Amino acid sequence: MGTALTTEVLDSRSSLPEIAELGQQLRVDGIRASTAAGSGHPTSSMSAADLMAVLMTRYLRYDWSDPDDPGNDCLIFSKGHASPLLYAMFKAAGVVTERELLEDYRRAGSRLQGHPTPVLPWVPAATGSLGQGVGIGVGMALGWRWSEHSGRHMWILCGDGEFTEGSVWEALSMAARLGLAHVTVIIDVNRMGQRGPTTLEWDTAGYAQRAEAVGCHAIVIDGHALPEIDEALRSASSSLKPTVIVARTHKGRGFHEVEDKEGWHGKALPAEMAERAIEELGGIRGLTVQGPAPEPRDDVREVKRGGDSLEGREPVRPTFPIDKPAAPRLGFGKGLAALGVNPKVVVLDAEVGNSTYTEEFAKQHPERYVECYIAEQQMLATAVGLAADGYRPFAATFAAFLTRAYDFIRMAAVSNVDLALAGTHCGVEIGPDGPSQMGLEDLAMMRAVHGSTVLYPADATSAAALTITMAGLPGISYLRATRGAYPILYDADEDFPVGGSKTLRETEHDPVTLLGAGVTVHECLKAAQMLAHDGISARVLDLYSVKPIDVAALIRAATDSEVLVAVEDHHPEGGLGEAVLSALAAEGVPVRRFGHLAVRIMPDSREPAEELEAAGLSAEHIVAAAGRLLAGSGAEARAEAERG
């Protein structure tokens, strides 16, 4: 595929004609990689090649040999499908070999995946789900303020198509509101989307007007005119506002057979066509780049992930009077406040802090409390950015409203960040606010996240303890915090290991085991008392750890009891009941009789106790279910005979 023309080294003093050659090299290498793989997005890479050539040569201050250097700028490809361009840049920087680019891209086990992930040390977060990169970049840039990394700059490359995503505008609005002048977003306005023209096509003024409307500085340029690119990047480097560079480009730039043509999105060029493209682009080059280095810093390098999350500062667990009911959500808030001793803990709110009790943290540590307002997607994106920069973020809102940010949550798992989430006001238990406010899908949602931990405490004491535990958990952890105040079940020094459970009531012979979590634990305790009055002993398990679940306790219950009844304030799909059955099935343990009480109706507005009754979750319904199952198993008759 062509012949090598040069092996020159480019640096910040290189001329624009020399940098133009780098742009052609990036195009050629993107074509070579995708054609060799048989898939990829070469045309989406070719449109932004000139922009990235100028950026990496003159403005991206980065020590490629040391991606953890705290003075490094950051580059995020929000248009992650342009990975051929990004990996071609890594090759030009000397950190990816030509062999790896041509033989490993998009292959099994390769770190050069179809869309970038942090398996590559120069990639801070996974992208490819469009509309997320700007928000993540804003989160990282915010964290730099607290780390005194004021000299760093955040560069984000976006596609024009993703600017129809509302999350992009949430992010830009937040960047402007917080005055993050060290954030620059480059829009590759190549006009072509996946199935045809984008919404605004080449209306660069339209993009600029929208950016300025949310408080950013906008610069419109020809994305293939290197002097204009150079001046725009120079201006952005010293701007007093976040900058949006609106660059008019051509998809497939440099190869006339595909340039600005429909039908070439996400398609590798066939081998013969790739040969013609490389020839038209001037052949294969061997340029390398040594761009500007980060400014030397005297501060101690920070650990990005892992290690002692509390940095030697132990939080003091809050206590709650045993004789005074308290809400689990209050336990969450008090636990957060206790975690404030850890300077890496940051709390994010979606304008419900007085309901989720994140305000308990804000009162003591306002400098590490981020009000994201009613923008749940940006709250999650900010949290991911902060986590990628080594912070330990806690993000909280009503459980129902986390559903709109689920794409950000699942992508956070792809990014392999450590992130704690909390959803309050879960289930029908919240009462009169009605179904729009009731989180009834969140357990299923969070259990499905790769590597997640899902916790559902029944009282304020366990909620506070588990909140503190979350500060040291890897991956995505989720705490489901009930709204209402309930009796305190546990002593202040009780331990709640992840993967454990609590047996609140049992005898030597329990024909029934009642399985609950959160609010239903209290209903199960009432039901057990009612069953005892009828001479039926019932064990009660508090399955506060939904994922991982206490398999040993479940096996013992399935072995000892003829009837298991799982009770959850959640839809039946994907919640506690299915977690129980899945765990037992995986162990090959049969369940003789299983009852599953869950929310199978569309709730309305009524008092919490009425909601639980209407949904079939009250103690009376639990007793009735246990009775039916016992009668069917013959255990009830045997129990009656024993009593006689």
First to last CA, the chain: 92
User: Which residue from 567, 638, 623 is spatially nearest to 599, judged by alpha carbons?
Assistant: 567
Tell me the three state secondary structure of residue 439: strand
- Identify any residues that bridge with 346 across adjacent strands, giving them in sequence order: 393
User: Between the CA of residue 322 and those of 318, 319, 392, 643, what are the distances in Å?
Assistant: 13, 9, 31, 36
Query: What length does the chain have?
Result: 644
CB 311 within 8 A of CB 64: no
Strand bridging mode 345-349 / 369-371: parallel
User: Which residue from 53, 132, 48, 37 is spatially nearest to 89, judged by alpha carbons?
Assistant: 53
Which DSSP string corresponds to 266-303? T-PPPHHHHHHHHHHTT-----EEE-PPPPP--SPPPP
Count Cα atoms within 13 angstroms, Cβ side, for 200.
21
User: Between the CA of residue 327 and those of 239, 274, 322, what are the distances in Å?
Assistant: 47, 64, 13
- Identify any residues that bridge with 348 across adjacent strands, giving them in sequence order: 370, 395
User: Between the CA of residue 202 and those of 80, 122, 199, 207, what are the distances in Å?
Assistant: 21, 31, 9, 9
CB 134 within 8 A of CB 185: yes
Q: 376, 441, 562, 636: which is the annotated catalytic residue?
A: 376
Tell me the three state secondary structure of residue 423: strand
Q: What is the dihedral of CA 100, 103, 105, 108, to 10 degrees?
A: -110
User: Which residue from 2, 93, 82 is spatially nearest to 281, judged by alpha carbons?
Assistant: 2
Ranges of H-type helices in 459-569: 460-470, 519-533, 551-560
CB 460 within 8 A of CB 496: no
Question: Is residue 8 flagged as an active site residue?
Answer: no
| CA–CA dist 258, 566 (Å, integer) | 59
Strand bridging mode 545-547 / 453-455: antiparallel
For 319, the enclosing helix (H) or strand (E) is none
The b/e string for 160-199 (b: 16+ C-beta within 10 A; e otherwise) is bbbbebebbbbbbbbbbebebbbbbbbbbbbbbbeeeebe
User: Between the CA of residue 351 and those of 52, 359, 374, what are the distances in Å?
Assistant: 38, 10, 6
User: Between the CA of residue 17 and those of 23, 122, 284, what are the distances in Å?
Assistant: 10, 27, 17
| CA–CA dist 528, 532 (Å, integer) | 6
Contact residues for 362 (Cβ-Cβ < 8 A; gap 6+): 347, 349, 353, 369
Active site residues: 376
